[in-house]
């Protein structure tokens, strides 16, 4: 009976130790924090001199420098562009990406639905930003419309000039052939 009681005591102590370890175990799932931010930007505000800069909002800055956290940038269709570690001279970046730091991404042109994801594995913190880029520049549209209109006008003027030249040549030819016989 004593042996049975000792076994039960040892088993209950081991059981309590397992419970204590499981609650303090770093692998035990913790309550996660998931933040999603949608940011609408005007392309003319973030782009200049052939580059567009997407900045990480304040909410994600506290986690950018943690070794437990990783940052990734994706295109609208989920294509992985680059991680958030600073670009160095020896690092090859996709052709679209000019530079990357933990605080921002610099790309060649304005992109809609660009995504930044920050994931911290220990704290279960997740932060995702979706950048909705709006191109409100009317000048670019006017310029392309004007160039199309200018091209059409030039083509019409050349065609009218060619027809006028042919008519004038025909009239001169008829006049010379008619009066040269007399």
| Confidence bin at 176 (pLDDT 50/70/90) | confident
Q: Does the predicted model carry a pTM greater than 0.75?
A: no
Residue 6 has pLDDT above 60, yes or no: no
The arithmetic mean of pLDDT across residues 122-136, rounded, is 89
| Confidence bin at 17 (pLDDT 50/70/90) | very low
| Confidence bin at 87 (pLDDT 50/70/90) | low
Higher pLDDT, 176 or 10: 176
The arithmetic mean of pLDDT across residues 106-129, rounded, is 91
In the three-class reduction of DSSP (H, G, I as helix; E, B as strand; rest coil), residue 160 is classed as helix
Residue 152 has pLDDT above 60, yes or no: yes
Nearest 5 degrees, angle CA 93-CA 88-CA 79?
25
- The rounded Cα 11 to chain-centroid distance in angstroms is 57
The 10 Å CB-count burial string (b at 16+, else e) for 149-160 is eeeeeeeeeeee
**Which residues in the chain belong to E strands, given as ranges?**
33-42, 47-48, 51-55, 69-74, 80-83, 97-101, 104-107, 114-120, 125-134
């Amino acid at each position: 009976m004593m042996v049975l009681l000792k076994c039960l005591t040892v088993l209950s102590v081991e059981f309590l130790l397992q419970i204590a370890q499981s609650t303090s175990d770093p692998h035990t799932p913790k309550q996660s924090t998931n933040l999603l931010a949608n940011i609408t930007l005007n392309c003319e505000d973030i782009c200049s001199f052939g580059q567009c800069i997407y900045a990480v909002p304040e909410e994600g800055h506290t986690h950018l420098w943690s070794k437990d956290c990783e940052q990734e940038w994706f295109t609208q269709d989920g294509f992985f562009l680059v991680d958030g570690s600073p670009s160095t001279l020896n690092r090859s970046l996709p052709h679209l990406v000019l530079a990357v730091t933990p605080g921002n991404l610099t790309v060649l042109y304005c992109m809609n639905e660009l995504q930044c994801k920050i994931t911290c594995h220990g704290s279960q913190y997740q932060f995702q930003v979706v950048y909705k880029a709006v191109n409100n520049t009317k000048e670019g549209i006017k310029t392309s419309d004007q160039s199309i209109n200018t091209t059409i006008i030039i083509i019409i003027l050349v065609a009218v000039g060619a027809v006028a030249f042919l008519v004038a040549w025909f009239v001169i030819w008829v006049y010379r052939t008619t009066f040269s016989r007399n």
